[in-house]
């Protein structure tokens, strides 16, 4: 997730009215935040109420093959779109963040969130809620990708057979150990968000640290975390300036941190405090709602880099399926699996 930030004001603008609908029901306008009775927002609400429940649009089958048939009808030949994906461990709020970017209003009666969030029962059973890669698309043509958690014990438990092998085959039909298959799926899920025909289409990340205590959001802690991330990504093509031509030398976009107090660096970091209970004391630095609004505004205000050629929404999905297969069948991945198997860390 990425973009050039815009600071949030004390009176943030209302969330955009967004609907999940087939192409014929949406407009071509992008990032329209205007509101008012009798205006476009009311029309969007009417259209949204007519859209039947579509259930899961999962991009991954039970055998972890990339499937596009469910989601493809919702995409068009439009070339003005943005893809936002989330990656992270269990329970950090990935689905909640996507619901905020989508513009979901939890106060609207009878409206379910586009991305379900884990219940107390799910937490008590130590299970994950999101399975595979669940996509949604907004009227503003923002493609949102929610992913199952990385390195999750419950994901591993679902993949394992009684003999210790996995139910997912990732290398030329071979059946791997469940531990190794889980490791490989985590690598593939990270790559599918960042690869699109090489560096030219590489993702621009936004780092989000959630569920922090109030004292953890102190300015000096923020600067230390940002400096550490900058050092880790100092030579990475992930970090580039807003609107930079992605086809140029990626080295020019490296983060420079000679001045630790420079908050204008291209690396984007957001700290989101834990959601307080009703009646809790006022936060010292920033509230949970305010932090989410700033994150949403960052994503909605980002400008896309210029590419050597344009691709449509449908092209993007088809290319993603090809990339997934390339990663699965990559000789580098195969060599890595064999190395792990021969190391004795994983059962053969």
- Report the C-alpha gap between 88 and 64 in whole angstroms: 19
- Report the C-alpha gap between 66 and 90 in whole angstroms: 22
- Contact between 306 and 201 (Cβ < 8 Å): no
**pLDDT given for residue 169 in this prediction:** 59
List of domains in the chain: 23-30+43-343 (3.40.50)
Burial bucket for residue 312 (CB in 10 Å: 0-12, 13-18, 19+): middle
Angle at 81 between CA 318 and CA 111, to 5 degrees: 100
**pLDDT given for residue 193 in this prediction:** 47
- Report the C-alpha gap between 191 and 45 in whole angstroms: 36
For residue 264, the tally of other CB atoms under 10 A from its CB is 6
Which residues of the chain, if any, have pLDDT below 50? 1-53, 171-173, 190-197, 246-264, 279, 348
With a threshold of 0.75, does the pTM exceed it?
no
**pLDDT given for residue 63 in this prediction:** 76
In three-state secondary structure terms, 269 is strand
């Amino acid at each position: 997730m990425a973009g050039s930030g815009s600071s949030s004001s004390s009176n943030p603008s209302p969330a955009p009215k967004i609907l999940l609908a087939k192409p014929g029901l949406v407009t071509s306008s992008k990032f329209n935040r205007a509101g008012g009775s009798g205006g476009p927002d009311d029309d969007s609400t009417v259209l949204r109420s007519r859209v039947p429940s579509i259930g899961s649009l999962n991009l991954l089958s039970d055998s972890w093959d990339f499937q596009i048939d469910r989601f493809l009808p919702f995409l068009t030949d439009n070339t003005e779109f943005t893809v936002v994906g989330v990656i992270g461990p269990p329970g950090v709020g990935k689905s909640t963040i996507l619901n905020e970017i989508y513009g979901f209003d939890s106060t609207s009666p009878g409206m379910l969130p586009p991305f379900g969030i884990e219940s107390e029962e799910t937490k008590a059973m130590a299970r994950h809620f999101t399975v595979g890669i669940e996509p949604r698309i907004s009227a503003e043509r923002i493609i949102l990708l929610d992913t199952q958690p990385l390195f999750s014990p419950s994901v591993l438990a679902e993949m394992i057979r009684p003999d210790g092998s996995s139910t997912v085959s990732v290398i030329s039909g071979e059946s791997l150990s469940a531990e190794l298959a889980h490791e490989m799926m985590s690598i593939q899920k990270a790559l599918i968000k960042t690869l699109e025909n090489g560096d030219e289409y590489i993702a621009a990340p936004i780092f989000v640290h959630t569920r922090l205590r109030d004292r953890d959001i102190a300015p000096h802690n923020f600067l230390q975390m940002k400096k550490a991330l900058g050092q880790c990504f100092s030579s990475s093509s992930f970090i580039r300036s807003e609107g930079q031509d992605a086809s140029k030398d990626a080295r020019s976009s490296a983060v420079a941190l000679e001045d630790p107090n420079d908050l204008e660096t291209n690396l984007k970091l957001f700290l989101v405090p834990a959601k307080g209970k009703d009646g809790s004391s006022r936060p010292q630095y920033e509230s949970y709602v305010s932090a989410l609004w700033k994150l949403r505004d960052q994503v909605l205000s980002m400008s896309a880099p210029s590419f050597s050629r344009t691709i449509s929404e449908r092209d993007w999905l088809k290319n993603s399926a090809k990339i997934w297969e390339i990663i699965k069948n990559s000789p580098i991945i195969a060599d890595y699996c064999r190395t792990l198997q021969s190391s004795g860390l994983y059962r053969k």
